[in-house]
Amino acid sequence: MKKILALILALVMALSLVACGEKQPDEPVVEDTSIVLQEGNEYGAPAGRILVMYWSTYGSSTAEFVDKIIDEFNNMQEEYWVVREYNGGYYDQIAKLMATEQKDLPALCNSSSETVGAYLHSGIIKMVQDYIDADPTYDRELYAPLTATYGNADGMIGYPIGLSQSGFFYNKTVFEKAGIDPTSLTSFEKIYDAVLKICGEGHAKYGISEEHSGIWANYAFHREGFYTVDNDNASTGLPTKCLYDDNSNGFADIVKQYYTQWADLAAKGYVYPVGSSKKDELEPAFANADLAMIITTNSSYKRIYDACKANGHEIGFQLMYTITDEGKGTGYCTSGNGMFIIDNGKTKSMQGAWEFLKYFTSPDVQLRWNQMTSYMPMYKEVYEMPEYQADLEWRPSFKQNIEDFLAGDDSAFYAFTATNNEYTLAQQTCLEAVCNGTPVDDAIATMVQTINDAFDMYNLSNG
């Protein structure tokens, strides 16, 4: 019996050696299907250029600037030709991308920082980190909060192209009358007390308002030091539940305190009606000193500055707060816009997308982009340029914002949810509810259920 087993073993080993000696089939060669433009093409491009289709959400004056940069790129090299196509809002574009066959996808798109998760979990992108690792000419150093917002443990998911920061505008006239230093309002607890003083003493009709969105609460929760969804804030997998009612680390208490303070201020009549238009209602009230604070991003600084200046008021901007005085407060979730490279199977076209992204985020282009949009610089190199420093003279609080941001770490990032449109809608609905008399516990429970149902539906189809 032992002899038979030995013969079988020897035969198996012999066959294995023969198999190892045989020539193995080559790996299948994947054909690059990048489109090489011919003479007389519809884009007016020189023959021989590789088409780089870029789907964009930009319109109006912003689109004009982007198109100018595209023209510069197309004319400075002879290999690629970028064509921009407008596709509506962020979520319209994501829906279109997900419904499009790979061969018809663009090589590049842009979207907001809050949609990074949608692209991470979409299955249609190529990690930007792959291009960074393969490019010896890449030498940029992004601020830590930016790498946290656009990357995970595997590296950069997308790449930021415009940086704005969340926080609140303050009317200096109102704060001077109230005797409050607005830069001391580093937590919502302090903001709550400031509103009580401002409105209680009659310095302004309304103490606080916010641009209608659910993102501000999350920015504050993350700055406090908490994740808002499971799976490491969805950085390691699709979220299966939100954590607003999870008190294992005290987070549920923080959430309840936050919405309770909003509800109390609203009951006193100190909150500008939630849901009001920022541009058409909040900003005019702020410019007239009827409103002390607007929670939003600093991207509208120039417009608000001009409106207040016309009425004899000065303004400032304070970066996002924590919820409590004891909050962590070392990181910042970044707002703004980024680009994503789409895996459309066209290798050369995708490489062209990376080359254009590099040009768009080069210091010279970023300086012009920042000056045109009021975006903050993404690199210290741009911040230190004399032209940019001169541009800060009329907005001193912006300079302090940048210094504060420079000191931030990578501890805070917006949750990588794939369904941000439903995720944030539930939160803005929660704030509306508590400010209109719904019991805080009930409003939070509804928010949690709505978000978890949305996660379940998405994961059922995509998990």
Claim to verify: residue 108 and residue 199 sit in the same structural domain? no
Residue 199 CB neighbour total at 10 angstroms: 22
Q: Is residue 63 part of a domain?
A: yes
- 315-319 and 80-86 beta bridge pairing: unpaired
pLDDT above 80 (res 6): no
Tens-place pLDDT, residues 53-107: 999 999 888 999 999 999 999 999 999 999 999 999 999 999 999 999 999 999 9
The SS3 call for residue 141 is coil
**Mean pLDDT computed over every residue of the chain:** 93
Claim to verify: residue 113 and residue 185 sit in the same structural domain? no
Full-model pTM = 0.91
Backbone angles phi, psi at 33, to 5 degrees: -100, 20
Task: Tell me the C-alpha distance between 74 and 45, whole Å.
Answer: 9
Q: Is residue 22 part of a domain?
A: no
Q: Is residue 260 part of a domain?
A: yes
Claim to verify: residue 210 and residue 113 sit in the same structural domain? no
Claim to verify: residue 303 and residue 439 sit in the same structural domain? yes
Q: Which of 391, 407, 437 is a domain's end point?
A: 391
The strand pairing partners of 409, in sequence order, are: 331
Q: Do the Cβ atoms of 223 and 321 come closer than 8 Å? A: yes
Grade residue 31 by pLDDT with cuts at 50, 70 and 90. Answer: confident
Claim to verify: residue 213 and residue 309 sit in the same structural domain? yes
**DSSP of 361-425:** TSHHHHHHHHHHH-PBPSSHHHHTSHHHHHHTTT-HHHHHHHHHHHT-BSS------S-HHHHHH
Tens-place pLDDT, residues 188-219: 999 999 999 999 999 999 999 999 999 999 99
Distances 216 to 5, 114, 258, 296 between C-alpha atoms, Å: 71, 11, 12, 8
Return the pLDDT at 181: 98
- 80-86 and 50-56 beta bridge pairing: parallel
Q: Is residue 246 part of a domain?
A: yes
Return the pLDDT at 404: 93
* Position 46, amino acid: P
**Of the candidates 180, 175, 196, the residue with the CA atom closest to the CA atom of residue 267:** 196
Cα–Cα–Cα angle for 259, 199, 284, rounded to 5 degrees: 90
Claim to verify: residue 313 and residue 368 sit in the same structural domain? no
Residues ≥6 apart with Cβ < 8 Å to 428: 212, 213, 214
Q: Is residue 9 part of a domain?
A: no
The SS3 call for residue 166 is strand
Task: Tell me the C-alpha distance between 194 and 21, whole Å.
Answer: 80
Q: Do the Cβ atoms of 340 and 157 come closer than 8 Å? A: yes
Residues ≥6 apart with Cβ < 8 Å to 84: 54, 55, 56, 58, 63, 66, 67, 70
Q: Is residue 370 part of a domain?
A: yes
Using a 10 angstrom Cβ sphere, with 0-12 exposed, 13-18 middle and 19 or more buried, the burial of residue 459 is: middle
- What is the count of structural domains for the chain? 2
Q: Which of 344, 373, 391 is a domain's end point?
A: 391
Return the pLDDT at 394: 87
Tens-place pLDDT, residues 255-302: 999 999 999 999 999 999 999 999 999 999 999 999 999 999 998 999
Return the pLDDT at 30: 54
Claim to verify: residue 343 and residue 357 sit in the same structural domain? yes
Claim to verify: residue 311 and residue 441 sit in the same structural domain? yes
Backbone angles phi, psi at 165, to 5 degrees: -125, 145
Q: What is the CATH number of the domain that holds 354?
A: 3.40.190.10
Tell whether the torsion through CA atoms of 105, 121, 215 and 363 is positive or negative.
negative
Q: Is residue 256 part of a domain?
A: yes
Cα distance from N-terminal residue to C-terminal residue, the chain: 52
* Domain coverage including residue 372: 50-163+334-391
Claim to verify: residue 159 and residue 175 sit in the same structural domain? no
Q: Which of 391, 408, 431 is a domain's end point?
A: 391
Q: Do the Cβ atoms of 70 and 51 come closer than 8 Å? A: no
The mean pLDDT value for 438-457 works out to 98
Cα–Cα–Cα angle for 431, 300, 204, rounded to 5 degrees: 60
Look at 5-19, 193-207, 238-252, 391-405 and tell me which has the smallest mean pLDDT: 5-19
Return the pLDDT at 107: 99
Claim to verify: residue 353 and residue 435 sit in the same structural domain? no
Q: Is residue 412 part of a domain?
A: no
Claim to verify: residue 318 and residue 338 sit in the same structural domain? no
Claim to verify: residue 244 and residue 321 sit in the same structural domain? yes
Grade residue 28 by pLDDT with cuts at 50, 70 and 90. Answer: very low
